[in-house]
């Protein structure tokens, strides 16, 4: 799989689960790949692109940032701007309180705050850059460059997940579905959380789809009941930011479910 560039710092990101998740995306031949909840995009940036790729998220500012990273012109401007940028609490506050005039400025603000806020969270954000541990602004081009190149020809939208899942295709489609937690211990990880009705709607939509999907969730009775019709795999891996009350930024082993509507050889999982 090689070294995977991390474009965003994202709560609940699956970076540390990529080796495990690769068994699921490699098990299904597909000509089209979709993510209804792209978030930080770790899986997309890790896997090989296929003929058609579609990334979606209800967070419009996140998608605006993806679009500006995708654009060679805007990406070049971002890289040049960050080359002389500084990361300190005073500058963080200044950027946080600034007003944006266009999509480029939205992307620039979003990316700066994502890289310098605690765990990358932009809901009730707090200063979280750490000297010697956080990537300095003059090196952000190491993420923006390769990730922007990979976004070439990728469809980027900010739609309700149903529209992404239900869209027809003349290709074999694989969906990676990574929704908000069913029982989040913290309510401020995401700008667009899920209600119980949303979780039920997602399960109903996936049950009817003809596309192949692999889905990640925390392990709880409610999720197991919603997806008792599917293949449920118990897994464990480290979280970048876990679904717990720990605030020290450390990684923690988590237990999750990977749910599919296709079979995967058990011998390949561990």
pTM of the entire structure?
0.90
Nearest to 29 by CA among 180, 174, 184: 174
CB 245 within 8 A of CB 202: no
pLDDT value at 269 more than 60? no
Q: How many whole angstroms separate alpha carbon 138 and alpha carbon 155?
A: 29
* Alpha carbon distance 80, 141 (integer Å): 9
Domains recognised in the chain with CATH numbers: 1-59+158-270 (3.40.50.150), 60-153 (1.10.1020.10)
Check: CB of residue 23 under 8 Å from CB of residue 268: yes
Angle between helix 141-150 and helix 72-83 axes, rounded to 10 deg: 170
Alpha-carbon distance of 16 to 24, in angstroms, equals 15
Per-residue pLDDT band at 131 (split at 50, 70, 90): confident
Mean pLDDT of 14-34: 92
Read off the pLDDT of residues 171-228 as tens digits, 9 standing for 90 and up. Answer: 999 999 999 988 765 555 556 678 999 999 999 999 999 999 999 999 999 999 999 9
Q: Choose among 200, 210, 202, 224: nearest CA to 174.
A: 210
pLDDT digits (tens, 9 = 90+) for 239-264: 544 444 344 444 555 678 999 999 98
Encode pLDDT of 142-186 as tens digits.
999 999 999 999 999 999 999 999 999 999 999 999 999 887 655
């Amino acid at each position: 799989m090689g070294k995977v560039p991390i474009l965003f710092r994202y709560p609940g990101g699956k970076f540390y689960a990529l080796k495990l998740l690769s068994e699921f995306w490699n098990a299904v031949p597909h000509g089209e790949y979709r993510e209804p909840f792209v978030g930080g995009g770790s899986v997309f940036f890790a896997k090989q692109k296929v003929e058609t790729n579609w990334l979606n998220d209800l967070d419009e500012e996140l998608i605006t940032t993806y679009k500006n990273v995708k654009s060679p012109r805007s990406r070049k401007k971002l890289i040049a701007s960050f080359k002389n940028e500084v990361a300190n609490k005073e500058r963080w506050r200044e950027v946080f309180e600034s007003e944006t005039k266009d999509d480029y400025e939205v992307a620039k603000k979003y990316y700066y705050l994502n890289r310098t806020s605690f765990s990358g969270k932009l809901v009730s954000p707090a200063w979280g850059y750490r000297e010697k541990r956080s990537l300095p602004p003059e090196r952000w081009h190491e993420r923006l460059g390769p990730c922007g190149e990979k976004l070439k020809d990728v469809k980027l939208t900010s739609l309700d997940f149903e529209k992404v899942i239900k869209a027809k295709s003349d290709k074999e489609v694989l969906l990676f579905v990574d929704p908000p937690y069913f029982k989040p211990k913290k309510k401020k990880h995401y700008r667009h959380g899920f209600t119980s009705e949303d979780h039920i709607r997602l399960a109903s939509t996936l049950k009817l789809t003809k596309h192949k999907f692999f889905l990640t969730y925390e392990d709880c009775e409610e999720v197991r009941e919603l997806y008792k019709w599917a293949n449920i795999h118990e897994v464990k891996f480290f979280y970048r930011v876990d679904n717990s009350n720990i605030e020290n930024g450390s990684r923690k082993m988590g237990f999750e479910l990977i749910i599919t509507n296709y079979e995967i050889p058990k011998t390949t999982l561990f």
